[in-house]
Amino acid sequence: MQLSVNVLGRRGPEAALACLGHLRGRLPDGMRVRWLDDGSSDGTRAAVARTFPSVELVRLPGDGGVAGAHNRGLRRAFAAHDDAVLLLSVDARPVAGFLAPLVEVMKMRPRAALVSPKIVLARDPGRLWYAGGEIDWWRGRAAPRGAGTSDDGRFDRPGPTDFATAVAMLVRRQAFDRAGAIDEGYANHLFDVDWSVRARAVGMEVHYQPRSRVLLDAPDAGPGGGWTALPVDRTLSRSRARLVASHGRWYHWPTAAPRVAADATTTAFRGWRRLGRARPDVADPAPPSRPTARR
């Protein structure tokens, strides 16, 4: 199989250099690596080009969200006749030997469209972040198995799973051809879940391979190994509603809709509380030298 790697991230030059540097020695010689530059600064681009001259820089407009960025990278890869592409987040730190087990699934399972490895927290490698995924249509939620729990061997059985994660995911070309491109309407959330569901709907398979292991070095992954490494925003609720409306049964919606709305309210309330707690830590501005009129 002709393989390549697409690395996507938005956290500045330090994260980009750390991820690309970590890949050195962990990929086969000559394997093409692309850096999907999703609107990063000139300094980041220059640092990546200077330190990794062999890495292909793919400049993106920076306004299509994570889903759009991955689509453009996948089209670039498949135009170069790659059979499969490994999608990696800039926060992913693959362990040596991680690629072979993923490729093995593709070779042993001709219908395997997407394959993700076991993902653990870099700051606590004994704690899981992803060990396969499960979709709860009644609640309108998609969550990884074992997130935040100890990696004690309970999730070491490979096999089909509800969804793969774009944090680390090997994509077969046929997934793009048969299931179509990633739905950019999901922007930053749940696009990989939607893609997994669509791949399974056309007779392809989505797999979890625990013999492949990746560390997640995300600063905001949450103390308990929280599922999303992206800041939670209103688009998450819209994506959850879109997922149920697109793929759930009619009888899921009456229970999923109130749950999505309730979770969105809870998330917003927690955000306001965090903001309120943070305010005392911010130094008060100096008082004006003279009274100012109220507006």
Task: Tell me, yes or no, whether 238 lies in a domain.
Answer: yes
Q: Which amino acid is at 141?
A: R
Domain membership of residue 217 as a residue range: 3-274
* Predicted confidence (pLDDT) per residue in 73-110, tens digit: 999 999 999 999 999 998 999 999 999 999 999 999 99
**pLDDT value of position 46:** 83
Domains contained in the chain, number: 1
Is the CB of residue 173 less than 8 Å from the CB of residue 92? no
Rounded Cα–Cα distance for residues 141 and 133 (Å): 11
Task: Tell me, yes or no, whether 237 lies in a domain.
Answer: yes
**pLDDT value of position 12:** 67
Task: Tell me, yes or no, whether 279 lies in a domain.
Answer: no
User: Who's near 251: CB < 8 A, 6+ residues apart?
Assistant: none
At residue 109's C-alpha, the angle toward residues 86 and 25, to 5°, is 35
Report the CATH number at residue 152.
3.90.550.10
pTM of the model: 0.84
Is the CB of residue 87 less than 8 Å from the CB of residue 166? yes
| Closest residue by Cα to residue 61 from 96, 37, 32, 31 | 37
Q: What are phi and psi of 174, to 5 degrees?
A: -65, -25
Helix (H) or strand (E) segment spanning residue 178: helix 173-178
| Closest residue by Cα to residue 127 from 50, 216, 5, 194 | 216
